Amino acid sequence: MSWLTEYVRPKIRTLLGRREIPDNLWVQCPACQQMIFSRELEKNLKVCPHCSHHMRATAAERLAWIFDESTATRIELPKVPADPLRFRDSKRYADRLREAREKTHLEDAILVAHGSIGGQRAVVAAMEFDFMAGSMGAAVGEGIVAAARLAVLQEAPLIVFTASGGARMQEGAVSLMQMPRTVIATRLVKEAGLPFITVLTDPTTGGVTASFAMLGDIQIAEPGALIGFAGARVIEQTVRETLPEGFQRAEYLHAHGVIDMVVPRPVLRDTLARLISLLRVREAA
Amino acid sequence: MRHFLDFEKPIAELEGKIEELRRLSDPDGINIADEVARLTEKVDRQLNVTYARLTPWQKTQVARHPDRPKASDYFAALLADYTPLAGDRAYADDAAIIGGLGRFHGHSVVALGTEKGSDTDSRVAHNFGMARPEGYRKARRLIELAGRFGLPVLSFIDTAGAFPGIDAEARGQAEAIARSIEACLAAPVPFVATIIGEGGSGGAVALAAGDRVLMLEHAVYAVISPEGCASILWRDAAQASAAAEALRLTAEDLKRMKLVDAIISEPIGGAHRAPAQTIATVGQAIEEQLVPLLPLDAATLIARRREKFLEMGREAAA
Ligand SMILES: [Zn+2]
């Protein structure tokens, strides 16, 4: 299988090799406005120590936080045709892509790695909201498919951290077709008898929510995360009603039976480890 | 009364003249007949020229034309013994998605469609073809029913998209769409989807992840409406025409990118000028696509369908 030799070749990179944060920096919490010492914030997994507000995290941080220390190996993702529509609005999509790559040091809005969580093998895909609002084009779709295939190959559960504004408009119907493509990916994992767990983070909307994000065997959300299909503004314009308090937030979805649990970031790894061990009786036997 | 689109103005004027002439009672009836014939020919020529080179934005308007045949028109003309089925067995029956059993060219099938309605009352009743979770859950139920009895699924898609509403979100709109796509992909029976008008975003894909996806010549299929795209990327909804161009949402574009399998020609002047002829042509096209799928077993159908979608967008086609 060519896809295998293409990207499963272990290429160990340090997940923590991102830009260093200066020690003396203060960050203001967008929720409670308190100042937080940046090192303390990092240590606290970007959760405000004053009000527990969960700040957005990068894909690299997700991977670094979730795997057991130094067990993670990032895989290279298959290349997809860039800019299939030769799209341009006020800017060329090709330029937007280049800028996003420079800004995030990522190829596209997804990272995939394998490693262990609580001593158990797992494959994790994490979406990067900073890369064109985590929008799903062919590269993200291919990343989910690759992660699913890797999970099947390694007989490991697949965990996906979602963060997305929806479809990548600049890829038109190609981005739309990532919905069925990623749904197929979830089927591959489930048919192999492996758990598929989604961790919905702020924000997860549009075509990502309406495909793989909502097909988890177990669905977890971070506190306060905005999760929905349609955007709040579009809904307001359509129904001309004021949106209810907490609408489309993790806790609202939990109350409406859409997700299994709202899990604070500091206990997420333990929760995932427990879920995997509870689900994988067959393997342990 | 015929509804004319903006760019059809010259045609509207000519047809107006023809109407006027016909109403004239005149002793020189022969001259009038000549003039009517001459103008009619001119209308045909004009329609031919206009419709041969519709811009993507004009196609979007044609795809949304109020007189364009709707899913229910296809059901009525193509299905014998059509028996509508209702409800998601959990909450409600959503009239934005219609479906049931029927006989298509002699084959017992499950038919599904997003229904926009054709007059004010029916448009409201069908929520303008914008479904809520119960609609997608009904679709999933009917696809599963088709699977149980080995009946092919025929879907007819014409929707601006899923309904953006508070209630829809509260009842899990995203999950309902995802499960409907999943049901399409897992159907152990032949599945032919046809985009007959607007293929709007996830709400369209929910019923269109089939073995074969057909598109009418002037139908559009897009990830977002041109207006929505323009207001986000151009920050100006008036740039819809430019957005329609950029989104590559025409049947020709989708065929070239191998995202749909075949294009069905429309009569001159668009489906709304000759609904019966359009529906018959669509019926023939579906039959042609369906017959080769009938002998295939469930495993083959599902595997090929998956392979088809997994291959999409992997090679550059622009
Ligand atoms: Zn705070």
Pick from A174, A228, A234: CB nearest B174: A228
- Per-run averaged pLDDT (10 residues), chain B, 318 residues: 89 91 71 86 93 96 97 98 97 98 97 96 96 98 98 98 96 98 98 98 98 98 95 91 97 97 96 97 98 98 98 75
* CB of B51 closer than 8 Å to CB of B269: yes
The verdict on A89 touching B (C-beta cutoff 8 Å) is yes
* CB of A150 closer than 8 Å to CB of A112: yes
* CB of A265 closer than 8 Å to CB of A65: yes
Judge: A256–B175 Cβ closer than 8 Å, yes or no: no
Q: Is residue B1 part of a domain?
A: no
Q: What is the 3-state secondary structure (H, E, C) of A60-82?
A: HHHHHHHCCCCCCEECCCCCCCC
* CB of A213 closer than 8 Å to CB of A250: no
The pLDDT assigned to B29 comes to: 63
CA distances from B127 to A123, A234, B95, B157 (A): 42, 16, 7, 15
Provide the phi-psi class of A118: left if phi over 0, else alpha when psi is between -120 and 50, else beta.
left
Average pLDDT of the segment spanning A193-200: 98
Nearest CA in chain B to A82: B316
Q: What is the 3-state secondary structure (H, E, C) of chain B?
A: CCCCCHHHHHHHHHHHHHHHHHHCCCCCHHHHHHHHHHHHHHHHHHHHHHHHCCCHHHHHHHHCCCCCCCHHHHHHHHEEEEEECCCCCCCCCCCCEEEEEEEECCEEEEEEEECCCCCHHHHHHCHHHCCCHHHHHHHHHHHHHHHHHCCCEEEEEEECCCCCCHHHHHCCHHHHHHHHHHHHHHCCCCEEEEEEEEEEHHHHHCCCCCCEEEEECCCEEECCCHHHHHHHHHCCHHHHHHHHHHHCCEHHHHHHCCCCCEEECCCCCCHHHCHHHHHHHHHHHHHHHHHHHCCCCHHHHHHHHHHHHHHCCCCCCC
Burial of A6 from C-beta contacts in 10 A (0-12 / 13-18 / 19+): middle
129-188 in chain B: CB under 8 A from chain A:
162-166, 168-175, 177-179, 181-182, 184-186
Judge: A184–B306 Cβ closer than 8 Å, yes or no: yes
> Is B85 in the same domain as B216?
yes
Judge: A80–B313 Cβ closer than 8 Å, yes or no: yes
For tokens 């595997």, name the residue. B303
For residue B168, what are its two tokens?
């829809």
> Is B267 in the same domain as B293?
yes
C-alpha A182/C-alpha A81 separation (Å) is 17
Structure confidence at residue A83 as a pLDDT band (50, 70, 90): very high
With respect to CATH, is domain A57-284 assigned 3.40.50.2300? no
| pLDDT tens track for A133-153 | 999 999 999 999 999 999 999
Q: Is residue B293 part of a domain?
A: yes
> Is B171 in the same domain as B304?
yes
> Is B152 in the same domain as B272?
yes
ipTM of the modeled complex: 0.95
> Which residues in chain A are closer than 8 Å to B315, comparing Cβ atoms?
81
> Is B133 in the same domain as B75?
yes
C-alpha A20/C-alpha B69 separation (Å) is 61
Pick from A171, A181, A207: CB nearest B309: A181
> Is B185 in the same domain as B76?
yes
Q: Is residue B317 part of a domain?
A: no
The verdict on A177 touching B (C-beta cutoff 8 Å) is yes
Bridge partners for A56 per DSSP: none
* CB of A166 closer than 8 Å to CB of A135: yes
The verdict on A223 touching B (C-beta cutoff 8 Å) is no
Return the domain boundaries, chain A: 19-55, 57-284
Q: How far is B167 from chain A (nearest CA, A)?
A: 10
Judge: B169–A228 Cβ closer than 8 Å, yes or no: yes
**pLDDT(A3) > 80:** no
The verdict on B299 touching A (C-beta cutoff 8 Å) is no
> Which residues in chain B are closer than 8 Å to A145, comparing Cβ atoms?
310
Count of residues in chain A: 285
Q: Is residue B126 part of a domain?
A: yes
The pLDDT assigned to B33 comes to: 82
Percent of chain A with pLDDT over 70: 90
Structure confidence at residue A4 as a pLDDT band (50, 70, 90): very low
Q: Is residue B154 part of a domain?
A: yes
Q: How far is B225 from chain A (nearest CA, A)?
A: 10
For tokens 């100006």, name the residue. B236
> Is B30 in the same domain as B142?
no
The pLDDT assigned to A5 comes to: 43
> Is B175 in the same domain as B31?
no
Q: Is residue B318 part of a domain?
A: no
The verdict on A263 touching B (C-beta cutoff 8 Å) is no
> Is B287 in the same domain as B215?
yes
* CB of A187 closer than 8 Å to CB of B186: yes
For chain A, where are the E strands, in sequence order? 26-28, 35-37, 73-74, 110-117, 120-127, 158-164, 196-204, 218-221, 261-262
* CB of A130 closer than 8 Å to CB of A69: no
> Which residues in chain A are closer than 8 Å to B259, comparing Cβ atoms?
173-174, 177
Q: What is the pTM of this model?
A: 0.94
Structure confidence at residue A41 as a pLDDT band (50, 70, 90): very high
Judge: A180–B232 Cβ closer than 8 Å, yes or no: no
For residue B196, what are its two tokens?
């007959």
> Which residues in chain A are closer than 8 Å to B182, comparing Cβ atoms?
183, 186-187, 215
Judge: B318–A90 Cβ closer than 8 Å, yes or no: no
Residue in B130, B155, B169, B233 to test binding to A, most A beta-carbons within 10 Å: B169
Pick from B170, B205, B246: CB nearest A256: B170
For tokens 């995932």, name the residue. A272
**pLDDT(A268) > 60:** yes
| pLDDT tens track for A88-98 | 988 999 999 99
| Cα–ligand 1 centroid distance for A62 (angstroms) | 20
Residue in A7, A92, A177, A260 to test binding to B, most B beta-carbons within 10 Å: A177
Residue B297, domain extent: 60-311
Tell me the CATH number at B151.
3.90.226.10
Cα dihedral sign, A208-A214-A218-A221: positive
Q: Is residue B174 part of a domain?
A: yes
Q: Is residue B149 part of a domain?
A: yes
Nearest CA in chain B to A231: B164
| Cα–ligand 1 centroid distance for A69 (angstroms) | 28
| Cα–ligand 1 centroid distance for A34 (angstroms) | 6
Counting the structural domains of chain B, the total is 2
> Is B21 in the same domain as B161?
no
A52: CB partners within 8 A, 6+ apart: A223, A264
184-203 in chain A: CB under 8 A from chain B:
184, 186-187
The pLDDT assigned to B2 comes to: 81
Judge: A175–B223 Cβ closer than 8 Å, yes or no: yes
> Is B36 in the same domain as B70?
no
Nearest CA in chain A to B235: A90
Least confident residue range of A169-173, A242-246, B144-148, B172-176: A242-246
> Is B67 in the same domain as B32?
no
* CB of A226 closer than 8 Å to CB of A202: yes
